[in-house]
């Protein structure tokens, strides 16, 4: 193998790892002296909000937080700050502990100089989580530093930034801090049922949540018919981070937010951090564990979006962001946000499928692959992936047993303090094993050529082995992409490796430049590392088998591409 290319490959892989996990793909934290959105200023609000537990079981502490927020909104210069009180509510539903409480929502209005009739509504809840039993622990209570101190603090800072150009506003701003979200969105439900007039002028809602204190701020859900919403987001948000697939995944999860109540009627965007489940709704959600970098990421996406919406008269119609169709979108760190109409995305898929089929035929005609061997590889890949799935779920089971946590296959598992370390170690071991097995199979495939008097015979045999492996894996990616495209309209976890590898092979065969192969590896890694990280944090170790399965399928594509790039 070429030593220079080995060095380049190693450097690229390391850099890709850093970028995929946040280096250069998330904003720097701005200090309190910054003129722009500052996570440091948000931290000061969170410090006050999270001093004590303030759940529905802590009415006095909750009132202190509420009074602080009313003072902050008045201090920002709100035209009106109104409290909506709803008496004698109960919750949570279907839980062993039921609380009776009064919920008080805070609604502040900041009017445009000449209101257009359309309003931006910013929503976060100010109550913290009620009691939560944990494995091998006493019942714990959250301090609400992230959930939802992040949302409340980010909204206050975002409004402060928007007020700097208030003279340019064409639309007004409402801030809604809801109560009793943690016990079944009772504050939002009551307001939607009893005071719906407060929502009649809302043309865009932005809801801010936090499912853990760190990681990127993910746009994880939109209202149905998001075509115009995503156009606004894609054109304005800095450091965008979203996958339309997460809306599909989220619909199957037992989590709901205030946005759930209104999303079928009001165009909206729902943001949240998604790491780490062990900090979520527990006493670890405290001021000492907040992450300013995650907070800054909310602001980087939201503040420019707010500025466009508030100052552009094309959004003066309250229905301006409603549409009939959804888009397919995904983010690849460094490369940015890709947003397609469903028709365009389907067309791109079809073109890629055709090009892959042509490449397959041409490689076969030119003797670079053997159909029987390629199809055998295509059978091995999914079988190995099923094995990886079983191993991943076994790891989850063992971790649950060790921590005293209930094993939930493909479900949310909480209370395993060492789950991240175990998952990282398991992924590392699987990668090493996959590389070792690939190297062993490659050596076996080239043994017969090693006795040849032709110096190029071994290289040719190795290239043919890598090509058979690659097209076998891509055949699997092709089949899974086609099936998911028909079933869900979403297939990025299989389509992106297929697209990148097919494009690279076409360019490599036509130019003989191996750089294309390296670029394909980089794109696939950027995608799979960031996407699988987000998926892992969202689904937790209970779904680790699915993560292992998807990663192994990616490795089945990456390893032969790397082999073709590194070989002489």
| Average pLDDT estimate for 106-113 | 97
Best CATH choice for the domain 39-332 from the list 3.30.450.270, 3.40.630.10, 3.30.1330.10, 3.40.50.150: 3.40.630.10
* Residue-wise DSSP of 111-179: --SS--S-EEEEEEE-PPP--B--TTS--B----TTTTHHHHHHHHHHHHHHGGGGGG-SSEEEEEEES
8 A C-beta contact, residue 221 and residue 255: no
Phi-psi group of 112: left, alpha or beta (phi > 0 → left; psi -120 to 50 → alpha; rest → beta): beta
> Where in the chain do CATH 3.40.630.10 domains reside?
39-332
Q: What is the mean pLDDT of the chain?
A: 93
Name residue 271's beta-bridge partners: 208, 219
Give the residue, 457 or 300, on which the prediction is more confident. 300
Sheet holding 99-110, edge to edge: 80-91, 99-110, 172-178, 119-125, 202-210, 268-273, 218-222
| Average pLDDT estimate for 350-366 | 95
Name residue 328's beta-bridge partners: 340
Q: Cis (ω within 30 of 0) for the bond into 92? A: yes
Contacts for 216 with CB less than 8 Å, ≥ 6 apart: 22, 26, 241, 273, 274, 294, 297, 534
Q: What is the pTM for the complete model shown?
A: 0.93
Task: Measure the CA–CA gap between 274 and 540, rounded to whole angstroms.
Answer: 10
Name residue 147's beta-bridge partners: none
8 A C-beta contact, residue 323 and residue 225: yes
Contacts for 208 with CB less than 8 Å, ≥ 6 apart: 122, 123, 124, 148, 150, 151, 152, 154, 155, 271, 272, 298, 302
pLDDT for residue 187 is more than 70:
yes
In whole angstroms, what separates CA 112 from the centre of its chain?
34
Tens-place pLDDT, residues 39-59: 999 999 999 999 999 999 999
pLDDT for residue 453 is more than 50:
no
Q: pLDDT category, 456, cuts 50, 70, 90?
A: low
Three-state SS for 326?
A: coil
């Amino acid at each position: 193998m070429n030593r220079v290319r080995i060095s380049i490959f190693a450097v690229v892989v390391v850099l890709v790892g850093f970028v995929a996990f946040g280096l250069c793909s998330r904003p720097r934290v701005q200090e309190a002296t910054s003129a722009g959105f500052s996570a440091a200023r948000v931290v000061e609000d969170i410090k006050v909000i999270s001093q004590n537990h303030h759940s529905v079981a802590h009415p006095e502490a909750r009132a202190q937080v509420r009074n602080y927020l009313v003072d902050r909104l008045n201090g920002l210069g709100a035209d009106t700050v109104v409290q909506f009180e709803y008496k004698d509510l109960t919750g949570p539903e279907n839980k062993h502990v039921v609380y009776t409480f009064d919920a008080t929502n805070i609604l502040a209005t900041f009017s445009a100089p000449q209101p257009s009739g359309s309003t931006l509504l910013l929503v976060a809840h100010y109550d913290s989580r009620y009691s939560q039993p944990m494995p091998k622990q006493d019942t714990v209570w959250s301090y609400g530093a992230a959930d939802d101190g992040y949302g409340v603090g980010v909204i206050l800072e975002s409004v402060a930034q928007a007020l700097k150009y208030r003279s340019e506003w064409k639309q007004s701003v409402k801030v809604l801090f809801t109560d009793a979200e943690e016990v079944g969105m009772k504050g939002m439900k009551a307001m939607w049922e009893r005071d719906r007039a407060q929502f009649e002028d809302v043309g865009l809602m932005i809801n801010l949540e936090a499912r853990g204190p760190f990681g990127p701020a993910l746009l994880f859900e939109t209202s149905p018919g998001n075509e115009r919403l995503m156009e606004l987001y894609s054109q304005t948000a800095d450091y965008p981070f979203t996958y339309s697939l997460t809306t599909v995944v989220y619909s199957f999860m037992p989590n709901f937010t205030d946005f759930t109540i209104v999303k079928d009627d009001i165009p909206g965007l729902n943001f949240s951090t998604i790491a780490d489940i062990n900090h979520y709704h527990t006493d670890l959600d405290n001021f000492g564990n907040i992450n300013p970098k995650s907070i800054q990421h909310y602001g980087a996406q939201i503040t420019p979006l707010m500025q466009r919406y508030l100052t552009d008269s094309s959004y003066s119609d309250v229905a301006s962001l409603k549409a009939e169709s959804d888009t397919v979108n995904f983010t690849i760190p460094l490369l940015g946000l890709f947003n397609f109409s469903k028709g365009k995305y389907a067309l791109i898929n079809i073109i890629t499928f055709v090009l892959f089929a042509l490449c397959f035929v041409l490689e076969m005609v030119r003797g670079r692959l053997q159909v029987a061997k390629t199809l055998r590889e295509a059978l091995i890949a999914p079988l190995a992936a099923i094995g990886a799935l079983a191993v991943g779920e076994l790891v989850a089971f063992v971790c649950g047993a060790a921590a005293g946590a209930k094993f939930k296959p493909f479900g949310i598992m909480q209370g395993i303090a060492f789950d991240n370390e175990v998952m990282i170690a398991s992924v590392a071991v699987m990668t090493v094993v996959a590389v070792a097995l690939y190297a062993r199979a490659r050596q076996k495939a080239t043994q017969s050529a090693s006795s040849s008097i032709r110096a190029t015979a071994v290289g040719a045999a190795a290239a043919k082995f890598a090509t058979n492996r690659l097209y076998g894996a891509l055949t699997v990616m092709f089949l899974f992409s086609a099936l998911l495209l028909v079933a869900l309209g979403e297939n990025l976890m299989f389509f992106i490796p297929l697209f990148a590898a097919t494009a690279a092979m076409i360019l490599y065969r036509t130019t003989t430049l191996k750089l294309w192969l390296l670029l394909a590896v980089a794109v696939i890694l950027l995608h799979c590392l960031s996407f699988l990280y987000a998926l892992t944090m969202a689904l937790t170790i209970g779904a680790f088998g699915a993560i292992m399965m998807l990663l192994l399928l990616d490795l089945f594509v990456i390893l032969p591409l790397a082999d073709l790039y590194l070989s002489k």
